[in-house]
Amino acid sequence: MDDYQRLLKQIDLTYSDELYVVNVKGCLIKFKCPFLVKATEDVGLLKEGCKYKVLSVKITIRLETVYEINHSYYHYKSFEIL
């Protein structure tokens, strides 16, 4: 099994209903889906300043975190967790 296949297997085993975040104080915080976020910019059909529910959290093949919102996927950097 090459590195790519191992990565795919690991991503497959990743839970998609939880997100772990380290806050500014260095504490680990777990968010269970659905959790609320606020858009920090217009992205796709979502508007800046509006609140949205994150239905699941996924990792792309490029190891980027994306949120499932309204059955579409958006890069996490466009949102602030509430």
Number of structural domains the chain divides into: 1
Along the 82 residues of the chain, how does pLDDT read in single tens digits? 677 676 666 665 566 888 989 989 999 999 999 999 999 999 999 999 999 999 999 887 778 888 989 988 899 999 999 9
What's the CA gap between 64 and 60, in Å, rounded? 5
User: What pTM, to 2 d.p., does this model score?
Assistant: 0.79
3-state secondary structure string, the chain?
CCHHHHHHHHHHHCCCCEEEEECCCCCEEEEECCEEEEECCCECCECCCCEEEECEEEECCCCCEEEEECCEEEEHHHEEEC
43: containing domain:
3-81
